[in-house]
Homo-oligomer: A and B are copies of this chain.
Amino acid sequence: MGKQPQVLDCALKEGAYDGSDLRTLLAFQIYQLSSKLAAQGRAVLARHGSINLPQWRIIRVLGMGVDNASNEVRIAAGIDKGQFSRTLETLIDAGLVRTEPLASDRRTFAIHLTAEGRALHDEIAPDLQARHNHLLKGLSPAQVRTLFIVLEKLSESAADLEFLDAARSNR
């Protein structure tokens, strides 16, 4: 492991996070981390049968009781409308969720975990909790707190393109 420095080496001095090195290209690094986490997540799920990541993301949202209205669940899961529709269909076919119409808005419906879906959620969640703990164990409490604050800010900055217009008008 001597070949893999634990922290960015001193060639990257404080302030030198300007993207001039691949390791400081934020979008690049987030993409690579996301891919690795997805592969790790798939390996965990593979030990619990054939459920896939999109399906788990929906089960997780339902299991946490965030909301049951279809559009709210989809938004919380962060999934495209078309993909959500198709993935939900596979969960219904597998008997893991059931839906019921919403009287308040006939375009939408409520989604609930079935007993089987709840059981699968409760079976898988501990392993993903262990993964979560594993990811955080090398970080100090202050680093963890900063990380989540920063992720929230980045999520907002990632939602707009105003920087392009600013760049264009500064020429």
Cβ of A50 under 8 Å from chain B: no
CB pair A143 B145 closer than 8 Å: no
CA A37 to CA B76, docked complex, whole Å: 17
CB pair B47 A28 closer than 8 Å: no
CB closest chain-B residue, reference A20: B64
CA A133 to CA B27, docked complex, whole Å: 11
CA A160 to CA B25, docked complex, whole Å: 24
Cβ of A2 under 8 Å from chain B: no
Cβ of A135 under 8 Å from chain B: yes
Contact of A157 among B38, B134, B157, B161 (CB under 8 A): B134
Contact of A36 among B5, B44, B155 (CB under 8 A): B155
For A33, the chain B residues whose CB sits under 8 A away are 30, 34, 151, 154-155, 158
Interface of A is mostly: helix
Report the stretch among A91-99, A100-108, A110-118, A123-131 that lies at the interface. Answer: A123-131
CA A39 to CA B161, docked complex, whole Å: 10
20 further A-B pairs in the complex, CB-CB below 8 A; given A18-B132, A33-B154, A146-B147: A14-B141, A18-B129, A19-B129, A26-B135, A26-B136, A27-B37, A27-B128, A27-B135, A31-B37, A33-B155, A36-B155, A37-B154, A40-B158, A44-B161, A127-B164, A130-B166, A131-B164, A135-B154, A135-B157, A143-B149
Q: Show the binding face of A for B, using Cβ within 8 Å.
A: 4-8, 12, 14-15, 17-19, 21-41, 43-44, 47, 57, 60-61, 64, 66, 76, 78, 126-139, 141-159, 161-164, 166-167
